[in-house]
Amino acid sequence: MTDVRPFFALRPPSALAHRVASPPYDVVSTSQARALAEGNPASFLHVSRPEIDLPVGTDEHANEVYETGRMNLLAFVERGVLERDHEPHFYIYAQRMGDHHQVGLVACASVSDYLNDRIKKHEKTRADKEDDRTRHIETLAAHDEPVFLTYRSVAELDALIANLTQGKPTYDFTSDDGVHHRLWVVEAAHSRKLAGLFAERVDTLYVADGHHRSAAAARAHQTNRGDGREHDVFLAVIFPHDQMNILAYNRVVRDRSGRSGAALLEALAEHFDIEPAASAAPAEPGTFGLYVGGGQWHRARVRPGTFDAHDPIERLDCQICQKQLLEPVFGIVDPRRDESVEFVGGIHGSLELERRVDAGEGNIAIYLYPTSMAQVMAVSDAGAIMPPKSTWFEPKLRSGLFVHVF
């Protein structure tokens, strides 16, 4: 059984929701956040990226940054940018990006479930990023950005959530990136049924995105347990697995040997079957798009028998890319730390990959086939860790539409 709970949300009035809603803190740089929030004092980036309100060059991990976030959150409440609900609720959050539509439950998930592995993970966390989010959460005394969770679809549960979207939404707006966002407040009777269905029918939740936020929430609870506040939970939006949309997480590599494009393709042909391609994106697993300039893409095909098709890690395209391409051809052993490789989310498309190579920012771009949600869950169920930069979930959850204060 999984423990999900309604909560007293701090959230914007409907008329301000579109101005408050912001990209997650970890998908924008400080300079990008500053530009996005310019002229908008209601942007939630003032809370999630508070260094934007301090002088340019301020260390984003300085004490004053965390304190500014706390003060900005308090100011949002004082100005009515955020208001506290009078009762605990679940919420339904729907997003549409092009043809893709996903509908999830906004809830508080259990730290105990996280620590006992009823909420499973697939990524390692970095100590510095976990430290940062822990300080942020503790200083705010709030979980201000949700963790993206998923579960194996349950027909009765998914039908109930879909039914709750039939009425008029509380929020209904389209963000600047073209994603349509809607939110419904769930009343008490339906909340009890939803909590019961999760407890009875959902054995496991999976962290799709937000490993540092969930790890930091668990740390904050363990540090502050016994003080009477409700930090034994963390803020989450929970979607059925068959609504997940994972895009490719692509690579751009700077070749330390300075080989030409033709020489790189020749070196890669020792490991893959390579041919010219009419498009960038591979159409099936076990293939990669390659771009070395000149407007021409190539397709690399993995040779049969060169990987363990039964191992949940070794059969991932991102792992094959590391083991058969990045390491032997470019000498990249640790892609987390090697500055020769950059990772580019699939939302940026092939034109961004071409631009970087054509501009000399890299010698080759590698377009991967996306990891599937079934693969992510198989890795999590095996207690294993995905290779770095394996998944890029879209659309991203907007921050500021609901906050859990403890």
| Range 213-225 average pLDDT | 96
Domain 249-369 has CATH 1.10.3470: no
How large is the C-alpha radius of gyration of the chain?
Answer: 22
348 SS3 class = helix
Return the pLDDT at 397: 97
Q: What is the pLDDT of residues 87-123, one digit of tens each?
A: 999 999 999 999 999 999 999 999 999 999 999 999 9
Single-letter residue type at 332: I
Whole-prediction pTM value?
0.92
272 φ/ψ angles, rounded to the nearest 5 degrees: -135, 160
Cβ(94)–Cβ(88) under 8 Å?
no
The whole-chain average pLDDT of the chain stands at 97
Q: What counts of helices (H) and strands (E) characterise the chain?
A: 14, 21
Q: What is the pLDDT of residues 162-182, one digit of tens each?
A: 999 999 999 999 999 999 999
- Smallest CA-to-CA distance from 299 within 314, 279, 285 is with 279
| Range 179-198 average pLDDT | 96
SS (H, E, C) 37-79: HCCCCCCCHHHHCHHHHCCCCCCCCCHHHHHHHHHHHHHHHHH
The Cβ of residue 403 has, within 10 Å, a number of other Cβ atoms equal to 26
Return the pLDDT at 301: 98
Return the pLDDT at 151: 98
Q: How far apart are CA 375 and CA 379, in angstroms?
A: 6
Q: How far apart are CA 195 and CA 208, in angstroms?
A: 21
Return the pLDDT at 357: 98
Q: What is the pLDDT of residues 292-333, one digit of tens each?
A: 999 999 999 999 999 999 999 999 999 999 999 999 999 999
| Range 278-285 average pLDDT | 96
Single-letter residue type at 105: L
Q: How far apart are CA 75 and CA 99, in angstroms?
A: 38
385 SS3 class = coil
SS3 percent helix, strand, coil of the chain, rounded to 5, is: 35, 25, 40
Domain ranges for the chain, please list them. 4-246+394-405, 249-369
Provide, rounded to the nearest whole percent, the portion of the chain with pLDDT above 90.
98
Distances (CA, A) of 334 to 219, 338, 356, 357: 27, 6, 22, 22
The alpha carbon of residue 122 and the mean position of all alpha carbons in its chain are separated, in whole angstroms, by 12
Return the pLDDT at 181: 98
Residue 385: pLDDT band with limits 50, 70, 90? very high
Return the pLDDT at 344: 97
| Range 135-151 average pLDDT | 98
Return the pLDDT at 192: 95
Single-letter residue type at 241: H
Pairing mode, strands 287-291 and 364-367: antiparallel
Residue 263: pLDDT band with limits 50, 70, 90? very high
